[in-house]
């Protein structure tokens, strides 16, 4: 595994990081963390991961955030957003329809913002 990547993973305390997990992600993922970005954009980053791997990724993301890295986390998985977000923005058809502090809206309210109509489950 690339020494730069290993050094970066050790920096955030995640030496047991799985090579399979790291290298199944796009090349941009593998290159981003070693370059010390100020913002990391993750679009449906956990869609192909197991729950155990998602938990490992979240440990790293939370540690990076605590070190000052800004995360732009794009997901339709409400529980993941609730766990990571400080602020949420909902887009519908490419337009910003709402921005709010995490925890201010229920999942149903967020879904209604996403679909543009009342939602009942």
pLDDT digits (tens, 9 = 90+) for 82-106: 899 999 999 999 899 999 999 999 9
Give the count of alpha carbons within 13 A of 91, CB side only. 7
Phi first, then psi: give them for residue 99, nearest 5 degrees. -135, 135
| CB-based contacts of 99, cutoff 8 Å, min separation 6 | 87, 88, 89, 90
Residue 106: DSSP 8-state = -
| CB-based contacts of 65, cutoff 8 Å, min separation 6 | 71, 84
Q: Quick one: how far is CA 26 from the chain centroid?
A: 14
Query: What pLDDT, on a 0 to 100 scale, did the predictor assign at position 55?
Result: 87
pLDDT tens digits, residue range 12-56? Answer: 554 444 444 554 555 545 445 556 677 888 888 888 788 888 888
Query: What pLDDT, on a 0 to 100 scale, did the predictor assign at position 25?
Result: 53
pTM summary value: 0.67
For the chain, the residue count is 121
Alpha carbon distances (Å) from 53 to 3, 26, 49, 96:
22, 16, 6, 31
Query: What pLDDT, on a 0 to 100 scale, did the predictor assign at position 33?
Result: 56
């Amino acid at each position: 595994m690339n020494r730069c990547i290993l050094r970066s993973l050790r920096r955030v305390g995640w030496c047991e990081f799985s090579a399979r997990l790291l290298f199944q992600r796009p090349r941009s993922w593998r290159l981003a963390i070693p370059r010390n970005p100020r913002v990391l954009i993750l679009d449906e980053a956990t869609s192909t991961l197991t729950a155990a791997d998602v938990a490992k990724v979240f440990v790293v993301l939370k540690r990076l955030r605590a070190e000052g890295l800004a995360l732009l986390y794009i997901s339709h998985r409400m529980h993941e957003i609730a766990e990571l977000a400080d602020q949420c923005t909902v887009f519908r058809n490419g337009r910003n329809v709402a921005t709010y502090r995490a925890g201010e809206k229920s999942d149903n309210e967020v879904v209604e913002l996403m679909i543009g109509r009342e939602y009942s489950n």
